[in-house]
Structure 1
C-alpha cells in the first residue's frame, strides 16, 4: 500500500535542513560580521536552534498521528485505494493446501475390533487460487461479494502423485451406519443389502485424486436419484469435491469508511446475521471477519475472531508472542485449548454439543448429520484418550498447531498456517454387517494445511512504507532536536565570546585615554634637542677646532 507520509517526512526534513543550514551559515559567517552585528548573530543562532527543536518536537507528536491517519485511509475497502483494494479483491499471495492422508494399514483387523493402525501419507500439495466476484458496495458502508476458489495440483511440491493409492474409511457406509443406528431393524437390514448391491465396503482403496475430487459410485447415483439432498454433492463423491470451483457463500462485510474499527468485520453471511446449527445463541453468533484481514491498531489483548463457513461456526485465536519477519514487527496468534473443548471442560462450548472428548468439534449438524468431527492434526491439544484408540499418531505444536502472524498496525496477515483434521466416528451397528465388530473410535481420515505468506515486491513495499519511513521520521525528529540544541549552545557561546570581546575593547580604550598629554612647545623642543644637541656643547666644539 502507498502511504503519503513520505511526502510529509520530506517536507519536515527540508524545513529542518534549511533551519540547520541557516545556523551553520551564521556560525561560519559570525567572525566576519562587524561588532555592531553581534547581537543579530546571536539571535540568529537562537532562532535557528529553537526552530530545529520545534520541528523535532512537532514531528515527534505529529508523526505517529500522520502514520495512523494514512493507515486508516489505506485500509478502508475502497477501489480508490488501488493497491490495498487489489490485495483484498484478488489475493496476490500464493496460497497452498497441503493434504495428508491417514492410510489404514490393518482394515481387516479393525473390523474384528482391533485398534486402527495408520500411516501418514503426503503431503499432496495444491495451489489455491481465490478471487472475489459479484462485488457490490452498499450505502451502509458495507460491501458484499462471493469468493471463488480453485485448486491446482503441484507435483514438484508434493511427496507423491495423485495416482498414489491409499485406504481410508468409507464415509458412505460407516457414516451412514451411525446415522441409521436408531432406525428399525428391518430398515437397517435393507440399508446393508443396498451397500452389498452396489459393492460398497467399510473401507475404500482409491487414488488420492479420486478421494479428493470424486469417484464414480452407483450408490451415490442411487441416493441422488431417490433421496435427493441427502448427499452434499450431486455428481462424483469426494472429500473435497464440493470445495473446488465453488464459493464460500455471500459475505457482506464492513468497509471501514465510517468506522475503521469495523473494517472487514462480517455484517451478514448468506443474508444471515446469526446461525441456526447450534444449541445456544452464543454459539450461533457470526463474529469477527471473514478470516483474511482484521481491523488495524492491534494490541496483545486483541483477539482474532473470524467466521468459517467450512466449520459452520465462528472461531477466535489468541495472542501468543511478538515476532519479526524480515524486519517487519508482527504478533503471532494461535488457537486456544478451549477452541475445540467440550461443554464439560469449557461451558461456553455447550452449544456445540452433543460432544465427545475435548479437542474435537462435532460438525454433523452442518454436514448432513454425518458423524464428522474436526480437530487439530494428530489430535494435538485434544484429550489423550483419542490417541489411545488409534496407533500411529504423534502430535506436536511445530507441525500440527495452527497460527497466524499478523502486522498489528494494519491487521494484515504476513504468514498463515491453518491446520485442521477431518475425523469420522465409527462403531458397530447391528444389522449392518459392513460395520463388523468395529470398536467405537473417532477415526482420523485426512488433515490439511492451508498456508501462505507475503513475499517479494509486496513485502518490500510493505516494509518500506510501514517500517522504513516511520523509522526515518523517528530518527529525523531526534536529529532535529539534537542539532537544534547544538545550535542553541553555539548561540550561547557566541554571545559569551562577544561579551568578552566587548570587555577587552573597553579596557584597551580606557588605558589609551588615561596616558599624559604633551603640549606643542614640549614636542618642539624635544624635536630640536634630538637634531642639534645642547648649545653649550656646540660652542665648545667650535672652539676646539680653532685651536
Structure 2
C-alpha cells in the first residue's frame, strides 16, 4: 500500500513488563487495567436501565429531573403492587380474622389448650322440678286434669374440665368431660330439701323392659316387682331426686344386673366424669375444622337412627364453632350428648351484651322437634318400630337412654297442644324456654346463652302399671324436670380479650382495609402523573432540539 492505513487503537492492560518494554513508536495504545474496569462499570447501569428508558420513551441519557421522576415512579409502582396485594387480602379473604382465631387452636401445651382443659369461666346449672300436686285425686278420678307446679330454679355453679386428654397424631384430641357442682342458695328459689311428688322413673322404665321379656321372664319379673308394692309416683326431697336416692326396685334389680349403680338420680350421671368419650379436631392442620367432633365413643357415626344423615356427629361440642360458618351467618350445629343427635342453630339478630360487645344471636329453630309432616328432616328420628311418629314438639330418646325418655323444650314449648292437654300448670314461653347462643362473630365461640331442655317419661301401663294408672292415658308424656345451662361471670382476662377482639381489632381492620384502598388509588394516580410529567418533559426537549436544529440549518444556509 502506498499510504499507511490508520488502524484503530488496541487497548491492553498494562503490566510491569509491558510498561517497561513499551516503545514510543508502538501503534498500540496501552492503558491501565483500572481505567478499563471503571469504564465497564459505568456502562453497566446504563445497559440495565436501557429497557426502562426505552419503555418510557427516553432515547438518550436522561436528565436529572427525568432520572428523579423514574426513581419516584419505581417507588410508586412497588408501593402500588404491595397495596394491591394488601387490598385483596383485607377485602376478599378471611386472613385477618383467621389470624385471631389461630390463637384458639388447640395445639398440645399451648395456652389455648390449657384454657380449654380447665376453662376460667364456670357456668350455671338451673334445675326446675315439676311437682305433681293432685296426682292422687287425678288417679282416683276426682280431678279431670293433672296439676303440676314448676318449682325452682335450684341453681348450681358448674365447673367443667376435660379429663383423659390425649392429643392424637391426626390433629384431633380425645377427652371425657368432668363436672362438679356447688349449690348457690342466693341464686335459687325455694328449699332444695323440700319434698316433691314426682313420677317413679325406675318403675316406669321397668314397665317397658318387663313387657319385652319372654313369657316366663315377664311372669317372674312382674311378680317380683309387684311384691314391692311400689307406687307410680313417689315423694322425695328435691336434692335427692336430682343427685341420687336409694330405690327399692334398683336394689332388687342389682341382684340380676350388678353393673347398676346403687342409687338413682336424674342428674347423677352428670356429676363427675362422663362415661362418654369425645374426639374433636384441634384446628392445627385446618383452623376451619376447629372444635368439630370427629368421634363419639370411638364411633365416627352413630347407629341409633334410620339413615346416615341423622347418624352424623360432625357438629361442634358447643364451646367453639368453625370460623368459616360465621362468614355468611350459616346454620351452626351442636352435637348434644343428652340427645345423641345434632341440633341446629340459626342466626336471628345482632345484639349487644356487656354494654359494649356486639355478638350474633343464634337460636334453635321452632321446628327442630317437629313431626316429619311439618319438618321432613326429622323422619329418620322416628322409631322404626312405630307405625306413626310422635306429635310435634317432642323427641324420641329411647334409643339414647335405653328407657322411655322423651326430651322436649321446657313446658313443651313449640309442641303440639295435645302433649299438655291433660295438664294444668304447663305454660310455654319463648323468652323463658327457647335455647339461644350469643356468639362472637370473629372468635366464633359463645359468650352468652342458655341451653334449655326438658326430660319427659312416657306412660307404658303394661302388666305392672295397668291397674295403678287405670285413669291415665297410655303413652301420656309426663314432664319430670327441665334444666337450663347459662353462662357464668366472665373473667377480666376474657373481657379484655373480647374488648380487643371487638374494638381494637375492628379499628385495625378498618385502617388496613381503607388504608390499602387509599394507597392503591394514590400510588396509581402518582404513577399516571409521573408518566404524564415524563411525557411533557420529553415533548419540551424534542421541541427545543427541533428549534436548535432549525436555527443551525439557517446558519449553514447563510
1:372 aligns with 2:405: yes
Confirm or deny that 1:236 pairs with 2:263. Answer: yes
Alignment counterpart, residue 374 of structure 2, candidates 345, 364, 374? 345
Q: Superposed, which structure 2 residues align to 1:437-476 within 5 Å?
A: 437-440=471-474, 441-452=476-487, 455-457=490-492, 458-475=494-511
Report the CA distance between 1:296 and its aligned residue. 1.0
Which of 246, 255, 267 is matched with 2:282 structurally? 255
Name the CA distance, whole Å, in 2 between partners of 1:176 and 1:362: 18
Q: Distance in 1 between matches of 2:275 and 2:172?
A: 18
Q: CA deviation at 1:42?
A: 12
- Structure 2: how far apart are the matches of 1:217 and 1:87? 40
Distance 1:292 1:352 in 2: 25
Rate the CA distance shift 1:453–1:324 in 2: closer, same or farther, 3 A.
farther
How far did 1:147 drift?
Answer: 1.7
The answer on whether the counterparts of 1:427 and 1:435 sit within 8 Å (CA) in structure 2 is no
Question: What's 2:360 paired with?
Answer: 331
Instruction: Using the TM superposition, give the Cα deviation of residue 99 of structure 1 relative to its aligned residue in structure 2, in angstroms.
Output: 0.4
Give the Cα–Cα distance (whole angstroms) in 1 for the partners of residues 212 and 88 of structure 2: 70
Decide whether aligned partners of structure 1 residues 69 and 345 sit closer, same or farther in structure 2, where only a CA change above 3 A counts. Answer: closer
- 1-side partners of 2:138 and 2:460: how far apart? 11
Total equivalences in the alignment? 454
> Separation in 1 of the partners of 2:72 and 2:508?
26
1:394-420 Cα offsets, whole Å, 9 max, x none, are 111100000111112221111121000
Q: For 1:73-123, what per-residue CA distance to the aligned partner results, in whole angstroms no more than 9, with x for missing partners?
A: 2132114641x3233221222201100011101111232353211011000
Distance 2:518 2:73 in 1: 14
Contact 1:96 1:451 survives alignment (8 Å):
yes
Quick one: which of 193, 197, 203 aligns to 1:167? 197
Indicate how the Cα distance of structure 1 residues 476 and 309 shifts in structure 2: closer, same or farther if over 3 A, else same.
closer
Contact 2:280/2:294 (<8 A) preserved: yes
Aligned to 2:396: 362
Q: Return the offset for 1:338.
A: 2.9
Q: Is the 8 A contact 1:55 1:477 kept in 2?
A: no
TM-score, scaled to structure 1: 0.73
| Deviation for aligned residue 1:135 | 1.8
Q: Give the corresponding residue for 1:275.
A: 302
CA deviation after TM superposition for structure 1 residue 380, in Å: 0.5
Residue 321 (structure 2) pairs with residue 286 (structure 1): no
Match of 1:142 in 2: 172
Gap runs ≥5 in structure 2: 1-64, 384-388, 530-558
Q: Are the counterparts in 1 of residues 367 and 414 from structure 2 also a CA contact under 8 Å?
A: no
Per-residue CA shift, 1:294-337, capped at 9, x if unaligned?
A: 11131344121122222122222222222232433322111123
Is residue 100 of structure 1 aligned with residue 133 of structure 2?
Answer: no
Matched, 1:67 2:96: yes
Quick one: structure 1 residues 278 and 346, their matched pair in 2 at CA, closer, same or farther if it must change by over 3 Å?
same
Distance 2:118 2:78 in 1: 47
CA contact (8 A) 1:103 1:167 kept: yes
Q: 2:323 aligns with which of 281, 285, 296?
A: 296
Would you say the 8 A contact 1:127–1:152 is kept in 2? yes
How big is the shift at 1:177?
2.5
CA contact (8 A) 2:87 2:517 kept: no
Structure 2 match to 1:208: 238
Provide the rounded CA distance (Å) in 2 between the counterparts of 1:366 and 1:481. 55
Q: 1: distance between equivalents of 2:203 and 2:517?
A: 76
Distance 1:137 1:287 in 2: 19
Provide the C-alpha distance between the structure 2 equivalents of 1:479 and 1:42, rounded to a whole number of angstroms: 25
1:311 aligns with 2:339: yes
1:540 corresponding residue in structure 2: none
Query: In the alignment, what sits opposite 2:254?
Result: 224
Partner secondary structure for residue 292 of structure 1: coil
TM-score by length of 2: 0.72
